[in-house]
Structure 1
Amino acid sequence: MSGKKGRVFLRGITSETYGLREFRRSQLDAPRVRDDSVVVDDAKVAHSGDSEKSRTWWRIGPGDDPFLTQSLQVHFVELPPQSSNHGHGHQNEAAFYILEGKGYEIHDDQRYEWEKDDLVIVHTDSVHRHFNPYDETARCLIFKAKSMWMYLGLIQQGRSGPVENEERFGPREDWSQVWTPDVEKRRKVVKSSDTTWETTPLGRVRRLSGPGDDVRTFSVDAFVLDIPAGSRSGKRWHMADEVLYVRSGSGYSLHWEVEAEIAEKYYARIANEPTRHEFKAGDTLYVPHNTVAQHFSADGEPLVMISAQNRLFKQLGYDNVTYLENAPEYDEATGGAHARS
């Protein structure tokens, strides 16, 4: 739990009653917008990535107080010019969105180049290190579902080095034997130039990763949302919680709480009035589980947001999205068709 000494990798849920209404209420009452003043973890305890020059700081994680979520963690990595971090490995994946600069990765002794607005995947069981050999600072936004791996017992991680008590173990074997077949053929770097903008019920979207594509992630679905100045996104309802990073622009988000009425079956009861959450460039916006949300751009400048969700929800049977209202640009493009799925 968050009150214990050390880094929290996985948070527990404890209650003296069967219902967990108080736990959900505390999550819903926590502030959903966080800015650069919020550093919930400065990577000084139980981390292995930073070098003397590189810097890592966390915005959202399982040890937070107030607590938002552990289905998706958010942190930043900054590499000054002519620098790198320490190489290390962990079983969980990570998805890096490049906010500034360019550089390259060494993953399992292979090199992968990246630049601004690319998405870079650190795959499962990867030994990796980040490099910036250029004269401009590189800054990355990282989404990962680390707690999910921890819950499943996939906790082997650390710096490169010899096996402890090596005499107890046999010769090296190829670890990739237990991976999904042909997973190495999937893309590790999603180049901005290889993606396209689509007009969807949510609005203008550039998809980065999602089910059924050839990107080497099984845990994070991500896209970029571009809302014209003074406009709004679609109003959508889905079960997965979501983190959005405000790349540029400003505005606000309306959230309608969804209550479960447990009668002869589950019924959804959507709040009559929403809560309002103001944000600006550089902020992260959290949308809780089972929430109806709609985002609004301020006048004068388009709003660009980077969205991420944990894909596990789709595997658990929550793979649908209901649109209660389409983005106006979508209705214009489709002649005013109104979709609810």
Structure 2
Amino acid sequence: MGKDGRVFVRGLTSQSYGLGEFRQRQLAVERVRDDSVVVDDAKVAHSGDSEKSRTWWRIGPGDEDFLTQTIQVHFVELPAESSNHGHGHQNEAAFYILEGRGYEIHDDRRYDWAKDDLVFVHTDSVHRHFNPYPEKALALVVKAKCTWMFMGLIQQGRSGPVRDEERFGPREDWSRIWTPGVLDRKKVISPADTVWRDTPLGRVRVMSAPDRTDARIFSIDAFELDIPAGGHSAKYWKMADEVYYVLDGDGYALQWEVEAEIAEKYHARVALEPRRYDVKRGDTLYVPQNHVCQVFAAGGAPLRLFNAQNRVFKHLGYDAVHYFEPASDAVRTGAGVAVG
């Protein structure tokens, strides 16, 4: 949250062409955030909450300790027998249901959801969430909203009648124009729609990816990672930044910074020593751009994580993941499909 209101897009300004000092300030920020961190309580420039529902942010472009605006992370809570107001926006969003069940009215159609589902809000749509049941519903929301904002796609809210209506023609169905076939894709990806697979990263179930053409989202890739007790993920290197949310268990991550040495061409210099980040259930772990990472489960129980990243990196040419060493159970399970 900025001093003068909600920050939708953060600027990047420098007196010199090299941005090394800015990057180092960003990398110095704490990367693990828990329930004590509320960077925005949704009291300013938000339109979705009702008197009962609650929204609060953990990672966003207006954070005073700025991590990223590639991926935004917030939570939506619906107490028993409640709903929010709902609203519309041009950007996509993905709701991972952490607790409870409910449904949403999305462009006048009902879609039911429950724990462990991933629910998509596609571009240019109006959505409102309902919880008619006796238990609380809680969702983790991840989105690449700033990508839309950078491109000037900023029409959002609950506008009601059009201003200066006499200047405009009659209503048209906006949703039929821009993404042919999108309504044939799944709005809700449930566990029954996914399969756990053994990949170089580890054991994962993919909910959203470029090759998953049945999912109604184009900007966020998401998967769950299950690490056995005492085990670890692969040690991997990727250009895209990402956010892990700890669904269950505890453990730690090692992250190695990668420095660019720009000589006759780009060269990579990987830090000799990693930074360690301890995580527990309910924490978010941020992995910055151009880093090497490896995640470890504590010895007592498996570690289950939800991972999200902005798919735009793949469209920009950063679609490869390099694996230095396999996951701890790779020998037992064998290699599979890459995740990135």
Q: Shorter chain as normaliser: what TM range?
A: over 0.9
1:332: how far off? 2.2
Q: Shift of the alpha carbon at 1:4?
A: 3.9
Conserved? CA contact 2:224–2:304, under 8 Å: yes
Aligned to 2:280: 280
Query: What is the SS of the residue equivalent to 2:231?
Result: coil
Alignment partner, residue 334 of structure 1? 334
The alpha-carbon deviation at position 299 of structure 1 amounts to 1.1
Residue 167 of structure 1: how far off its partner (Å) = 1.5
Tell me the equivalent position of 1:295: 295
Where does residue 46 of structure 2 map in the other structure?
A: 47
Structure 1 residue aligned with 2:247: 247
Matched with 1:171 is 170
| Residues in 2 aligned to 1:307 and 1:167: alpha-carbon distance in whole angstroms | 47
Letter in 1 for 2:252: Y
Which residue does the alignment assign to 1:151? 150
Deviation at 1:321, TM superposition (A): 0.4
Partner amino acid, structure 2, of 1:165: D
The residue number in structure 2 matching 1:230 is: 230
Question: CA RMSD, aligned part only?
Answer: 1.4
Q: Which one-letter code corresponds to 2:75 in the other structure? A: F
Is residue 87–residue 160 contact of structure 1 (8 Å, CA) maintained in 2? no
In the alignment, what sits opposite 1:20? 19
State the one-letter code of the partner of 2:97.
Answer: I
Residue number in structure 2 paired with 1:102: 101
1:81-113 Cα deviation digits (max 9, x unpaired): 100000210000000000000000100000000
TM-score between both structures, scaled by the size of structure 2: 0.97
CA distance in 2, matches of 1:144, 1:333: 32
Tell me the residue number matched to 1:79: 78
Distance 1:72 1:178 in 2: 27
Q: 2: CA distance between counterparts of 1:42 and 1:17?
A: 35
Contact 2:71-2:143 at 8 Å conserved across structures:
yes
User: What letter is aligned with 2:219?
Assistant: S
> Which AA in structure 1 matches 2:181?
D
What's the CA shift string for 1:123-169, capped at 9, x where partnerless?
A: 10110000000001000000001111000000000115111221111
SS in 1 for 2:277: strand
Alpha-carbon contact 2:8-2:149 (below 8 Å) kept: yes
Cα distance in 2, alignment partners of residues 7 and 155 from structure 1: 14
**1:130 paired residue number:** 129
1:45/1:3 CA distance change after superposition, 3 Å: closer
**Which residue does 1:312 correspond to in 2?**
312
Once the 2 structures are TM-superposed, how far is the Cα of residue 334 of structure 1 from its aligned partner?
Answer: 2.6
The answer to whether the 8 Å contact 2:198/2:334 transfers is: no
Q: Percent identity?
A: 69
How many Å separate the matches in 2 of 1:223 and 1:3? Answer: 31
**How many angstroms does 1:177 deviate by?**
4.1
Equivalent residue letter for 2:288: P
Q: Which amino acid aligns with 2:242?
A: E
Cα distance in 2 for partners of 1:226, 1:3 equals 37
Is 2:100–2:138's contact at 8 Å kept on the other side of the alignment?
A: yes
2:196 paired residue number: 197
* SS of residue paired to 1:121: strand
The corresponding residue for 1:259 is: 259
Flag structure 1 segments of 5+ consecutive residues without an equivalent. none
- For residue 222 of structure 1, report the CA deviation from its aligned partner: 0.2
Within 2, Cα distance between the matches of 1:332 and 1:263? Answer: 42
- What number of residue pairs does the alignment pair up? 337
2: CA distance, partners of 1:176 / 1:283: 36
SS at match of 1:328: coil
Supply the distance in 1 between the matched residues of 2:175 and 2:135 (Cα, whole angstroms): 36
8 Å contact kept, 1:54–1:79: yes
